[in-house]
Amino acid sequence: MIDVEDLIALVRNYNPKTNAELIRRAYDYGRVMHEGQKRHSGEDYFTHPVAVAAILTEQRLDDATIVTALLHDTIEDTKSTFTEVSRQFGEEVAELVDGVTKLTNLQLTSTETKQSENFRKLFMAMSKDLRVILVKLADRLHNMRTIKSLQAPKQARKARETMDIFAPLAGRMGMQWMREELEDLSFKVLNPEARSSIIRRFIALQRETGDVIHKITADIRAELEKAGIEADVFGRAKKPYSIWRKMQEKQLAFSRLSDIYGFRIICQSEADCYRILGVIHQRWYAVPGRFKDYISQPKSNGYRSIHTTVSGRDGKQVEVQIRTRQMHEVAEAGVAAHWSYRDGVRAQNPFAVDPTRWITTLTERLETGDDHDEFLENVKLEMYSDQVFCFTPKGDVIQLPKGATPIDLAYAIHTRIGNACVGAKVDGIRVPLWTRLKNGQSVEIITAAGQRPQATWIDIVATGRAKAAIRRSLREENRERFVKLGHELARVAFEHVGKKASDKALRTAAKTLGLANETEVLARLGSAELTAREVIEAIYPELVSHPAEEIEGHHSVIGLAADQSFRRANCCQPVPGERIVGITYRGQGVVVHAIDCPALAEFEEQPQRWVDLHWHSGRHAAVNAVSLNLTIANGAGVLGRICTIIGEQKANISDLTFVDRKPDFYRLILEVELRDAEHLHMLLKALEAESDVAQVERIRDLSRKP
């Protein structure tokens, strides 16, 4: 473990004015709080926070971030509190530690809706202070470096989460070195055979060709000396995962890959960058289509560099990156460069991006969608996207993700332009709307009055903004259909309680529910945003109240301690009548699983967390949500009849999502609220008996945990 004085020395290397006493106090406090705790490897737990702090010193971060790293697990895993941290180390540090704690508690690989909610929380935490995610990324990096001590299933889960979320996020923040290391560490866990194979091929290639990197580096230096340009030249082989991904994308064998080596030239000025580019292209052949100028068109995270691929020594293709020293600092630190220190003061790098502006550009287009899955899809699109730059006929530059189409560009200009788009010209030539745009193309959008977005556009476009606008337009177009369906649902539901769904009754419901008018009530009813039960209860609450003998949800489980709360597990969704067991979670009470739930396997070695439970006998309230996978015929009135059947069974639809729409069938996920296992059995039988239902089954999904 790094000694406190060694840690302070690491900080002093870039910040001689550091508050050494603050770091010492945080180091001592963290060591005392974590005393007696061990990592899976058997080491003292405090070695982990210290290692995280050391990683952050490599990015030359401020004292508050270093102290946060030392304390980042104290609120979560020790008896320390937010108030105590705030009192001893200040409000700023306490807020940062609390932010990291909240990120640690997010289950980012849980069910889709839960995952999207957690992504919202992730971006909310980032928007408050980006240093929170910098600490979390360093935390994840150290955990991945020491992952061997975990059991194989947990290693795989951590590696997949890292590959899917944290590595792309590091890349999106401009910290490419961290992205590459996180990807490679995950790759080592998820596909060790493939990684070992690539390393062996590298070794064999080096035996055959000698030290290619040294030779090409020497060639570049010689050319720069001839031109009288001072610059540093570095070369390296690309990471195993980067090579593996390229092999998969291009479906090429290792022997057919060309640019497996990369070279970086660091110079003094922007003018030198372009002079060096000329020298490189004069000496070696440029590979067409492999040139990118991120100096004239920087990435949104501040990244600036010239990229070119040339056919070098012995015909081997190599990638060359050219940038100034200041550009290189931002390329290494990304958005973190905003907090970097040099000689005791905040480094004034003109290329460092203001994190507030960066997070705004990342999230401004993600907050418009109301749909959870839509938000999650948009976030992932934004995180994984590379960029292309296109021009409008007026010469304005539009920045789009790789794979974008003319429709994306139309929506990037204005939603009205996107909605009215009927065609496009690229470099003066008419092209299909599904054409993938390339760097430097001039794009003209052709519009027509009365044009509306097509449903097929959702699968064509690549930007979250376009997808959200198209879906919004389609929802408005479907409104009339939803109103008709809602009218039928209301009629049946009101007749069921001996009432009539008159305009006056619906207006009264609208007023009670805080909606504009009766049409809005019907539209929400038809789109499943509102249930018939809620509409009736708004007017006639006495008709839908539960019988007095019904067992309330919070009293339905026996076996809990007086101060324990419980919730049903998302993965198995147990209902009264099924055998159950509880698993305790710190700060979350008890999670109730069905006794045959596969998720219980991971707790076999933790018997102290198991709680023997059973359901209270008696009539339970219909409040236990169960998810059903339903395939129905695509016909007039079918969905209305399905809703009627469910209503007749005294069940309530709490959520409805269309998963797949085909010309002849729809597949949808229904979440229904039921009393118990017998109620579920009755509902399934009633649905199976309906001729327009092709298939119905209960969903028990292990990925939706806990």
The DSSP result for 406-418, as a single string, is HHHHHHHH-HHHH
β partners of residue 261: 237, 318
CA nearest neighbour of 522 among 588, 478, 584:
478
Residues 207 and 300 in one domain: yes
Q: Could you tell me the CATH number of the domain that includes residue 371? A: 3.10.20.30
Of 85-99, 355-369, 372-386, which one has max mean pLDDT? 85-99
Of 18-32, 475-489, 520-534, 607-621, which one has max mean pLDDT? 18-32
Residues 105 and 36 in one domain: yes
CA-based radius of gyration for the chain = 30
Q: Which of 518, 544, 570 is the last residue of a domain?
A: 544
Q: Count H helices and E strands in the chain, helices first.
A: 29, 23
Whether 433 contacts 424, CB under 8 Å: yes
| pTM passes above 0.75 | no
* 92 domain residue, yes or no: yes
Catalytic: 563? no
Residues 118 and 75 in one domain: yes
Q: Quick one: pLDDT at residue 456? A: 84
Residues 79 and 170 in one domain: yes
- What lies within 8 Å, CB to CB, of 315 at 6+ separation is none
Phi–psi pair at 422, nearest 5 degrees: -125, -10
Mean of pLDDT values over 60-68:
90
CA atoms 132, 134, 138, 141: torsion sign:
positive
Q: How many Cα atoms occupy the beta-carbon half-sphere of 386 within 13 Å?
A: 9
Residues 154 and 199 in one domain: no
Q: Quick one: pLDDT at residue 221? A: 93
Mean of pLDDT values over 595-617:
84
**Which stretch of 163-172, 429-438, 647-656 has the lowest confidence by average pLDDT?**
163-172
* 346 domain residue, yes or no: no
**Which stretch of 88-92, 102-106, 193-197 has the lowest confidence by average pLDDT?**
102-106
Kindly indicate the confidence band of residue 366, based on its pLDDT and cuts at 50, 70 and 90: very low
Give 207 or 581, the one with higher predicted confidence.
Answer: 581
Catalytic: 480? no
Give residue-wise pLDDT tens across range 462-519.
887 888 888 788 777 777 778 888 888 888 888 887 888 888 888 888 888 888 888 8
* 344 domain residue, yes or no: no
Q: Could you tell me the CATH number of the domain that includes residue 668? A: 3.30.70.260
Q: Quick one: pLDDT at residue 369? A: 46
Q: Quick one: pLDDT at residue 374? A: 52
Instruction: Tell me whether residue 169 is exposed, middle or buried, using C-beta atoms within 10 angstroms of its C-beta: 0 to 12, 13 to 18, 19 or more.
Output: buried
State the residue range of the domain holding 539: 479-544
Cβ atoms within 10 Å, residue 245: 14
Which string of DSSP letters, residue by residue, matches 218-257? HHHHHHHHHHT--EEEEEEEPPHHHHHHHHHHHT--GGG-
Beta strands at 610-612 and 652-661: parallel, antiparallel or unpaired: unpaired
Residues 485 and 471 in one domain: no
**Which stretch of 35-49, 69-83, 207-221 has the lowest confidence by average pLDDT?**
207-221
Beta strands at 693-698 and 306-311: parallel, antiparallel or unpaired: unpaired
Residues 20 and 167 in one domain: yes
Q: Quick one: pLDDT at residue 113? A: 43
418 vs 412: CA distance, rounded Å: 8
CA 332 → CA 59, 115, 142, 634, distances in Å?
8, 30, 18, 54
Q: How many domains does the chain have?
A: 5
Kindly indicate the confidence band of residue 55, based on its pLDDT and cuts at 50, 70 and 90: very high
Q: Which amino acid is located at 415 in the chain?
A: T
Give residue-wise pLDDT tens across range 317-330.
788 999 999 888 88
Mean of pLDDT values over 250-267:
71
Q: Quick one: pLDDT at residue 364? A: 53
CA nearest neighbour of 122 among 143, 134, 106:
106
Give 411 or 480, the one with higher predicted confidence.
Answer: 411
**Which stretch of 574-578, 628-632, 634-638 has the lowest confidence by average pLDDT?**
634-638
Tokens of 165: 């979320």
Q: Could you tell me the CATH number of the domain that includes residue 256? A: 3.30.460.10
* 271 domain residue, yes or no: yes
- Cis status, amide bond into 598, omega within 30 of 0: no
Give 163 or 265, the one with higher predicted confidence.
Answer: 265
* 198 domain residue, yes or no: yes
Residues 572 and 696 in one domain: yes
CA nearest neighbour of 179 among 349, 301, 261, 7:
301
7 vs 46: CA distance, rounded Å: 14
319 vs 220: CA distance, rounded Å: 12
**Percent of the chain whose predicted confidence (pLDDT) is above 70:** 83
* 234 domain residue, yes or no: yes
Q: Could you tell me the CATH number of the domain that includes residue 82? A: 1.10.3210.10
593 vs 600: CA distance, rounded Å: 8
Q: Quick one: pLDDT at residue 362? A: 55
Residues 398 and 374 in one domain: yes
549 vs 542: CA distance, rounded Å: 16
pLDDT mean across residues, the chain: 81
603 vs 579: CA distance, rounded Å: 17
* 349 domain residue, yes or no: no
The active-site residue, picked from 76, 112, 180, 690, is 76
Torsion of CA 39, 40, 42, 43, to 10 degrees: -30
Q: Quick one: pLDDT at residue 138? A: 93
Q: Which of 338, 372, 406 is the last residue of a domain?
A: 338
Residues 27 and 164 in one domain: yes
Is the pLDDT at 57 greater than 60, yes or no?
yes
3-class DSSP assignment, residue 404: coil
**Percent of the chain whose predicted confidence (pLDDT) is above 90:** 23
Residues 136 and 206 in one domain: no
Residues 655 and 680 in one domain: yes
The active-site residue, picked from 44, 58, 77, 270, is 77
Give residue-wise pLDDT tens across range 106-143.
555 544 444 455 555 566 556 567 788 889 999 999 99
Tokens of 43: 């080491």
Q: Which of 168, 185, 202 is the last residue of a domain?
A: 185
* 351 domain residue, yes or no: no
